[in-house]
Structure 1
């Protein structure tokens, strides 16, 4: 069960990271009308925080989990 949750968490995390990377390219950063009605709008900082923030958090947690898993394997 732990492996299934680990894999599911990594897949979800990868989705959030990819979404965070793609978001600045999907919206026109110079045209507020393209992101005004999005979550976190009407400011660009709010939109990027809401859409890219979870990806940054996921990347940090995934890195932490991978380092921890590697350290556990080396200890065994």
Structure 2
């Protein structure tokens, strides 16, 4: 069961990372009318925080989990 939860977490995390990378290209940052009504609007900083923030957090957590797993597997093989 934990394996399924971990895989699902990585799939959701990958989605959030892709969304965070794509968001600056999807909106026209020079035209506030394109993102004024988005979540986090009307300011650009709020929109980017709401749309890119979860992807940054997911990338950090996924990196931490992979590093933790790698260090655990190295400790067992010694």
Q: Which runs of 5+ in 1 are unaligned?
A: none
Structure 1 outlier segments of 4+, above 6 Å: none
Q: Deviations over 1:22-70 (max 9, x none)?
A: 0000000000000000000000000000000000000000000000011
**Number of the residue aligned with 1:46:** 46
Q: Which runs of 5+ in 2 are unaligned?
A: none
Q: TM-score, normalised by structure 2?
A: 0.96
**Structure 1: distance between partners of 2:32 and 2:66:** 38
**Structure 1: distance between partners of 2:8 and 2:72:** 20
Q: TM-score, normalised by structure 1?
A: 0.98
Superposed, 1:27-42 pairs within 5 Å as 27-42=27-42
Supply the RMSD in Å over aligned alpha carbons.
Answer: 0.4
